[in-house]
Amino acid sequence: MNRAPFAKHVLLFTSGKGGVGKSTIAVNVASALARRGLSVGILDADVYGPSVPRLLGLADERVRWTDGPPDRMLPAENFGLKVMSVALTTPESDTPLVWRSSVATSAVLQLLDDVAWGELDVLVIDAPPGTGDVQLTLAHELPGMRAVVVTTPQVVATDDVRRALRMLLELDVPVAGVVENMSGFTAPDGSVHRIFGEGGGRMLAADYGVPFLGELPIDPALRALGDDGRPVAAVGDHQQQRRFADLAARILERLAAGRIR
């Protein structure tokens, strides 16, 4: 059974640990894809720590419903993206969801089944960190899904991401590639500082025989605009937009050419 027949492609953004910028990368790649003229939805599947609404200026939005029948949830929209998150269903933005994993996975499936997504070229899914029930359920319920794995260069991050990569490969989820985030910081004098080390993402991709999609530097504007609910891929300067436009193009090339393990 395919839970997302409405989408031509499903892209899962995942990582082995939190704090690597996975949600930020997912939102900005989705924005870059939308700017190419594609119909793009983004599902925030990180039930316990949903951040996609904040990153897209939708933190104060609450879910609306179609007139039905059947009644279905309407995705929120901003920056050309259709957005759904469990954060849009809670009474307040800081309402904690103290759920067992079985309830959390059921909620994610409901956000696939009971949302009026319309026809999409790409459905981007922002997964929770780790290798738990949500990832396992999505792998089983979305047989055409491909994965983009996000890491930082440091060994403590790549150790966890190795486990995520191995899980994907053992579940036969095609891996579109690895993205290395926070790969370095360029100081005002032009010097580059590799704060979190160097080459971890490239080595990770080589070790598992999957494509390396590139490096993204530490950029204070990425954080500032994200906190303000404006993806840098949509409102940043030319260089900032180009980074994500190029990354989105490389991902699309992998999908089209089938160069995916």
CATH number at residue 115: 3.40.50.300
Q: What is the end-to-end Cα distance of the chain in Å, rounded?
A: 22
What φ, ψ does residue 176 adopt, rounded to 5°? -70, -25
In a domain, 1, yes or no: no
Q: State how far the Cα of 240 lies from the Cα of 7, in Å rounded to an integer.
A: 28
pLDDT of residue 92: 84
pLDDT of residue 179: 96
- How far is CA 91 from each of CA 59, 60, 95, 104, 114, rounded to the nearest angstrom? 12, 10, 7, 17, 19
Residues in CB range of 10: below 8 A, 6 or more apart: 4, 122, 123, 125, 142, 144, 145, 146
Name the token pair of 219: 């950029």
In a domain, 182, yes or no: yes
In a domain, 245, yes or no: yes
- How far is CA 199 from each of CA 23, 66, 84, 184, 206, rounded to the nearest angstrom? 21, 48, 34, 10, 11
pLDDT of residue 192: 75
C-beta neighbour count of 127 within 10 angstroms:
25
Range of the domain at 33: 7-255
Which helix (H) or strand (E) element contains residue 208?
helix 200-208
pLDDT of residue 261: 52
In a domain, 2, yes or no: no
Q: State how far the Cα of 179 lies from the Cα of 183, in Å rounded to an integer.
A: 10
pLDDT of residue 252: 94
In a domain, 202, yes or no: yes
In a domain, 115, yes or no: yes
What is the domain count for the chain?
1
Query: Which residue type sits at 163?
Result: R
pLDDT of residue 218: 87
In a domain, 33, yes or no: yes
In a domain, 227, yes or no: yes
pLDDT of residue 93: 81
- How far is CA 158 from each of CA 169, 171, 176, 182, 200, rounded to the nearest angstrom? 16, 20, 17, 13, 7
Q: What is the pLDDT along the chain (261 residues), one digit of tens a residue?
A: 799 999 999 999 999 888 899 999 999 999 999 999 999 999 999 999 999 999 999 999 999 999 877 889 999 999 999 999 999 999 888 888 888 989 999 999 999 999 999 999 999 999 998 888 999 999 999 999 999 999 998 887 888 889 999 999 999 999 999 999 988 767 777 777 776 667 889 999 999 999 999 999 989 888 999 999 999 999 999 999 999 999 999 999 988 875 455
Q: What angle do CA 137, 134, 156 make, to 5 degrees?
A: 130
Q: State how far the Cα of 192 lies from the Cα of 189, in Å rounded to an integer.
A: 9
What φ, ψ does residue 151 adopt, rounded to 5°? -140, 170
